[in-house]
Amino acid sequence: MKRIAILTAGGDTPALNATIFGAVQRANQLRVELFGIIKGFGGLLNPQVPYVHLNPLFQGIPELDPTRGGTLLGASRDYVDSNDAETIAHVAERLKRMKVDGLLCVGGDGTVNGMQPLSECLPCVLAPKTIDNDLGLNYLDEPSEWYREPDDSSRGYVYKKRPGREFNLDEMVNYVTPGYATAVFVSAASVQRIRTTAESHRRIAIIEVMGRDCGMIALGTAYGQPDLLMIPESPVDPNALVAKVLATLDHQKHAVLVVSEGIVDTEGHILGAVSASKDPAGNIQYTGAAEAVKKLLAQRIGDAFFTRQRRNESADAAIFVRKVGHTQRGGRPIQFDRFWASQLGGHAVELLVDGLNNCMATLQYRDGGMVLDSIAANKVRDHWRIIHPRPLSPTLYDPASFQPSKKGIEYLRSIFSTALGADDLESQHSLFDTGHLIHHYDSVNVDVHKRIRRLDAPK
């Protein structure tokens, strides 16, 4: 393997540059050239395939900073449709003209789908990333628990999952994905900041975190000590919710709730509006979970409850909603993400050099620590070849207390007890650098643009 192409696909995370950095380091050691495709699969769909040589003379380029969030290559949610043979043939031909011997895709489930058809044309390996921490399995045989049930939707069926089995944490495939730790760092800190307003003004704060159908980010947000955590895997029981909120108000005059964006009601319907728009990979955009919980609480508790106690003039005024939003997906990656993302990037290069194809570099939990491994990408697919988001196992969450279970605490502890480095705290000093007031933001896009090459037209 003399030349590898690398791309970053799907939504960005804080750890993408760290993954690319690890890939560059290992490629330099192995004397392999690394070409970075601009803007994910979108770059391969462009006949000119804009790309950057990431390790000229087997040295890294200064634009690649593993401590910066986002990706110097740019990302997109464009993907390659496995049924579109013509496009796949074009992409394969372009990679051939670039004299690329292997493709390293940094991404999540959508990226595995995009990579699969290309793996029939050249060796492909995935380095995982997603703040949602939902690319993986709770245990190897989990995909066999999915089944189809007829329904009246246009496709005529819906995927459902049989209840999972007990498992040990070291059975989890892809124990944790790069980007997750930093997202949790931000969301937990947000809870701490919002708490004091709720506390001072005797209000209910409902904080919405990302994660789509997986409650992992919400679970980790427990580090910010919210009073209640709500996850998509545990349907909202309005009676239990209202009882818990009232008990909390009774005790401390305010409450802080963390709501995962994909939470569902007891019929399995997503709470809040699901925007009609879909991204090109088919992902629905969730919005409105926290607003829906606010509405539910306002209706059930009523204005009189708040006015009686002279706390607020109405339920609407007493309950406020905040989304952590894209702040949890960006910025400087914390040490855990920096280290393991770069390890996974380097490992993915090794897997390609070792001749593997259509496989995924993984991070496993063994004997109390993390180790690198790999798995055939098809192992995460169900019988119908679908990759489902890894659900947060019900064994990690206690619906009665709305908090992580004992096993959930063990899971989080194994990731976060050493997740922050001294330099993470040190880096905060740079915020009030006077230079920030004088100089404009120096975007990596400007310098990377000057390095972009394009593929010549076919002869």
- Cα torsion through 357, 359, 361, 364, rounded to 10: -140
The nearer residue to ligand F6P, 275 or 430, going by C-beta atoms, is 275
The nearer residue to ligand F6P, 11 or 272, going by C-beta atoms, is 11
In the complex, minimum distance from the CB of residue 73 to ligand F6P, in angstroms, rounded to a whole number: 17
Residues composing the chain = 459
- How far is the CA of 373 from the CAs of 7, 113, 233, 345, in angstroms? 21, 20, 28, 12
In the complex, minimum distance from the CB of residue 261 to ligand F6P, in angstroms, rounded to a whole number: 6
Rounded Cα gap, residues 187 and 39, in angstroms: 27
Are 225 and 189 contacting, i.e. CB atoms less than 8 angstroms apart? no
In the complex, minimum distance from the CB of residue 258 to ligand F6P, in angstroms, rounded to a whole number: 14
* 3-class secondary structure, 5: strand
In the complex, minimum distance from the CB of residue 134 to ligand F6P, in angstroms, rounded to a whole number: 8
- How far is the CA of 250 from the CAs of 236, 306, 316, in angstroms? 21, 12, 19
In the complex, minimum distance from the CB of residue 77 to ligand F6P, in angstroms, rounded to a whole number: 7
The nearer residue to ligand F6P, 102 or 108, going by C-beta atoms, is 108
Q: Which residue is nearest to ligand F6P (CB)?
A: 210
Residues that bind ligand F6P (CB under 6 A): 11, 130-132, 210-212, 261, 279, 285-286, 329
The nearer residue to ligand F6P, 197 or 287, going by C-beta atoms, is 287
The nearer residue to ligand F6P, 176 or 210, going by C-beta atoms, is 210
In the complex, minimum distance from the CB of residue 329 to ligand F6P, in angstroms, rounded to a whole number: 5
The nearer residue to ligand F6P, 132 or 350, going by C-beta atoms, is 132
- How far is the CA of 228 from the CAs of 218, 272, 422, in angstroms? 10, 18, 30
In the complex, minimum distance from the CB of residue 13 to ligand F6P, in angstroms, rounded to a whole number: 8
The nearer residue to ligand F6P, 134 or 424, going by C-beta atoms, is 134
Assigned token pair, 395: 């064994």
In the complex, minimum distance from the CB of residue 151 to ligand F6P, in angstroms, rounded to a whole number: 23
In the complex, minimum distance from the CB of residue 381 to ligand F6P, in angstroms, rounded to a whole number: 19
- Cα torsion through 361, 260, 221, 129, rounded to 10: 20
List 421's β-bridge partners, or say none: none
- Cα torsion through 52, 377, 80, 449, rounded to 10: -10
Rounded Cα gap, residues 245 and 251, in angstroms: 10
The nearer residue to ligand F6P, 245 or 292, going by C-beta atoms, is 292
* 3-class secondary structure, 194: helix
The nearer residue to ligand F6P, 286 or 306, going by C-beta atoms, is 286
The nearer residue to ligand F6P, 5 or 281, going by C-beta atoms, is 281
In the complex, minimum distance from the CB of residue 137 to ligand F6P, in angstroms, rounded to a whole number: 18
Nearest to 446 by CA among 19, 46, 63, 179: 63
Are 251 and 280 contacting, i.e. CB atoms less than 8 angstroms apart? no
In the complex, minimum distance from the CB of residue 286 to ligand F6P, in angstroms, rounded to a whole number: 5
The nearer residue to ligand F6P, 76 or 362, going by C-beta atoms, is 76
* φ and ψ of 376, to 5 deg: -65, 130
Rounded Cα gap, residues 82 and 369, in angstroms: 37
Rounded Cα gap, residues 375 and 358, in angstroms: 9
The nearer residue to ligand F6P, 94 or 129, going by C-beta atoms, is 129
Rounded Cα gap, residues 417 and 422, in angstroms: 13
Are 4 and 33 contacting, i.e. CB atoms less than 8 angstroms apart? yes
- How far is the CA of 223 from the CAs of 11, 217, 409, 420, in angstroms? 25, 11, 10, 13
Q: Within 13 Å, how many C-alpha atoms sit on residue 135's CB side? A: 26
In the complex, minimum distance from the CB of residue 388 to ligand F6P, in angstroms, rounded to a whole number: 14
